[in-house]
Amino acid sequence: MSTLRSGMLPVGDGHEIFWETSGSADGVPALYLHGGPGGRLSPGYRDKVPADRTHLVGLSQRGAGASTPSAGAAGCVDLSAQSTPRLVADLELLREHLGIGSWIVQGVSWGSTLALAYAQAHPARVRGIVLMAVTATSRREVDWITEGIGAVFPEAWDRFAAFAEQHGDFDRRDHGPDRVRIVEAYRRLLASEDAELAEAAAAHWCAWEDEHVRIGGGVLEIAPLPQQVTDQQRAFARLVTHYWAHDGFVGDWAVPWGAAPGSGLLGGMDRIGRIPAVLIHGRRDVSGPVLTAWELHRAWPASELVVVEDEGHGGPQMVRAWREAMDRLTATPDPRG
């Protein structure tokens, strides 16, 4: 599937986001949101939609990939303009820039959190949703993926935690309400003006990420520390810790619509309950247990939950389910006309 158009869109705060379209210019508009935060727009995302009837839009989220300024730049980087509400606003600016009335929204991993946040903020602009490796970036999920899952990978987590204890503010013995979470300790380390310390923190963070996603991916060895941190890894580590330390900036997302404070994205499901959706998750996804996908599905009358029993944070059967979902959604007329 070849590129139709591409460009850079100024979105404020000194940021410009890279965007591209592919498929059919007259097709059903569909947005793809990559993972991370701080992931990248890989070419394979185009393979999950029917090219002959999809007008596919992809972008590098603020600070990631080809967008500028990069969160992966060497030295200290200001992340004060990074938040989920700003990312949602960026998507609306892009939709308006491209002249799209409504679109199908697809999201993978962190992209599913962003897709949910966007849909709850702008339900009239969403005609369908497809999520794979479903996350809502709640505090429960963040604490599990950074600390609780250490029970599954104790050797790698010990290395991960020991670095944060030796160089940061983390104390694994502290379970009090005012303790410094390991994700916050790493956020501070990655923001350090000590370049060598920040690089080492990025290496330890990326090794831990590689470790906990390997189940279901056929990788058997404990993930090694990167010998040299790339700009992509640096951006990923900085943005992930920034967003996760703030619980995805979605902790009180639903408050304007009457939900209880702290209820997060789950509390705003009434905003999108009638939007058709397919939620795809792997039973072996130990990084993000299927519980979140199940809770969202129960609160989402128009959703379908597909659980793939023998895959983890992605896999060929999950991708097949994604393609089938997009094939159905692009073949179905928008009920709103």
pLDDT (tens digit, 0 to 9) for every residue of the chain, 337 residues total? 788 899 999 999 999 999 999 999 999 999 999 999 999 998 899 999 999 999 999 999 999 999 999 999 988 889 999 999 999 999 999 999 999 999 999 999 999 999 999 999 999 999 999 999 999 999 999 999 999 999 999 999 999 999 999 999 999 999 998 999 999 999 999 999 999 999 999 999 999 998 888 765 555 566 677 778 899 999 999 999 999 999 999 865 444 334 444 468 888 899 999 999 999 999 999 999 999 999 999 999 999 999 999 999 999 999 999 999 999 999 976 755 4
Active site residue 109: yes
CA dist 242 and 233 (Å) reads: 14
* Catalytic residue of the set 285, 287, 297, 303: 285
Question: Do both 123 and 198 map to the same domain?
Answer: no
Active site residue 60: no
Tell me the residue range of the domain where 73 lies. 3-138+249-331
The reply to whether 172 and 315 lie within a common domain is no
Contact 16, 208 (CB under 8 A): no
52, with CB counted inside 10 A (0-12, 13-18, 19+), is exposed
Of residues 15, 55, 242, 313, which has the active-site annotation?
A: 313
**Domain count for the chain:** 2
CA atoms of 90 and 298, how far apart (whole Å): 29
Check residue 73 and report its DSSP letter. S
> Are residues 274 and 319 located together in one domain of the fold?
yes
- State whether 201 and 284 are in the same domain: no
Q: Which of 109, 112, 138, 287 is catalytic?
A: 109
Pick from 210, 228, 248: which residue ends a domain?
A: 248
| SS3 category, 299 | coil
Within a domain: 336: no
Specify whether 246 is catalytic.
Answer: no
192 within a domain of the structure (yes/no) = yes
First to last CA, the chain: 27
Give domain status of residue 217, yes or no.
yes
296 and 177 co-located in one domain: no
**Among 131, 93, 105, which Cα is nearest to 28's?**
105
Does residue 259 share a domain with residue 130? yes
